[in-house]
Amino acid sequence: MAFQEIPGSVTLTGQTGSIATSTLFNVGPLGAGMYVVFVDVIVTTAGSAGTVTCGITWNNGVTSSGFDSSAFSLATSDEQSEMLGNFFSIANSPITFNTTVVGATGNPVYSLRLRLLYLG
């Protein structure tokens, strides 16, 4: 079995707040199958408080589904959080992501990197 990296790649630096739901990849008519997503959050400038979570959503043919990372502190610089997940997505349906920042004080800044692989 070969893995196929697809153009579902996001690199966002200098983030200071929540990111609204955005498309990571539009699954085409032949794209139904298993996917793996890699999520990486790095605090580049610590604040004095706050957390960030990252969510991934897709449609598995029965319902819209998804998972969220654990809340990750924005109060420590150079902290890194990773999440890895696999899922089945139907064709003709977007795979999306979002972040939610809660209680941020002291001007924290983070970077978000997402990569998506198609397993077939």
The predicted structure's pLDDT at residue 22: 97
The answer to whether the beta carbons of residues 1 and 120 sit under 8 Å apart is: yes
CATH number of 4-118: 2.60.120.20
For 108, other C-beta atoms within 10 Å of its C-beta total 25
The domain ranges of the chain are: 4-118
**pLDDT tens digits in sequence order for the chain, 120 residues long:** 455 667 779 999 999 999 999 999 999 888 899 999 999 999 999 999 999 999 999 999 999 999 999 999 999 988 788 899 999 999 999 999 999 999 999 999 999 999 999 988
